[in-house]
Amino acid sequence: MASGAKKSQLGYLQHTDIIADGFKSVGDWETGTAKERPGYALAHLLSIAQHEQGEVLQGLIYDDERFQWWLKLQRGALASSDDTAINDSTNAMHAGQSDGSEVALAPLVRALVPSLQLVLTSDDETDNADFRSDAPDRLVLWDYQKRMDWIQKAADKFHDLMQGEKSGFMMDYLHEIKSWGDKPDR
């Protein structure tokens, strides 16, 4: 069955072709040349993400109708405060078709419903656009392929950071993340 397809039974801890590909990339990385290793690392990252998103999270949470209801509510709230909605409301205000209350509420909605972002460092969040990947506007988060399209772009950005002038920063972040395994559970 294709990753991301609804399953009658959750198999998120099972050995799959996707996870096998991910671990094969590790072996390829270990025996590869310095020039080949970045490509193997990216292939590993994407295989593991595909497994996590399609084999684990899709069936576990994203296919749940109650969870989708909350995601749709969040998506609707964000859509009501995005630039397109604000421009439409402003035009309606000028035409005398609105009192502008939706424009006034937009900052409150944005404060209560933050935008989705993947942070490419050891931090929980960041204002530095170099180290984050913002979700596309109006992302349908429960749609596996749309979510994976965003994750692919974030992985490509991470890959570029690892190869470029910020690779030293990225390695420091990875070492910090690695150290979390030595910390006691709370």
> According to the model, what pLDDT value does residue 30 have?
97
pLDDT category at 47 given cuts 50, 70, 90 is very high
The pLDDT of residue 111 is above 70: no
The pLDDT of residue 85 is above 90: no
> According to the model, what pLDDT value does residue 9 have?
58
For residue 89, what are the contacts with CB-CB under 8 A and spacing of at least 6? 98, 100, 102, 103
Alpha-carbon separation of residue 1 from 60, 110, 157 (angstroms): 16, 38, 29
> According to the model, what pLDDT value does residue 98 have?
55
Query: How far is Cα 180 from Cα 34, in angstroms, rounded to an integer?
Result: 27
Is 93 within 8 Å of 103 (Cβ atoms)?
A: yes
> According to the model, what pLDDT value does residue 90 have?
53
The pLDDT of residue 102 is above 60: no
Name the residue with tokens 């009658």. 8
pLDDT category at 116 given cuts 50, 70, 90 is confident
Question: Amino acid identity of 30?
Answer: E
Query: How far is Cα 177 from Cα 66, in angstroms, rounded to an integer?
Result: 33
Is 59 within 8 Å of 6 (Cβ atoms)?
A: yes
Instruction: State pLDDT tens for residues 136-164.
Output: 878 899 999 999 999 999 999 999 999 99
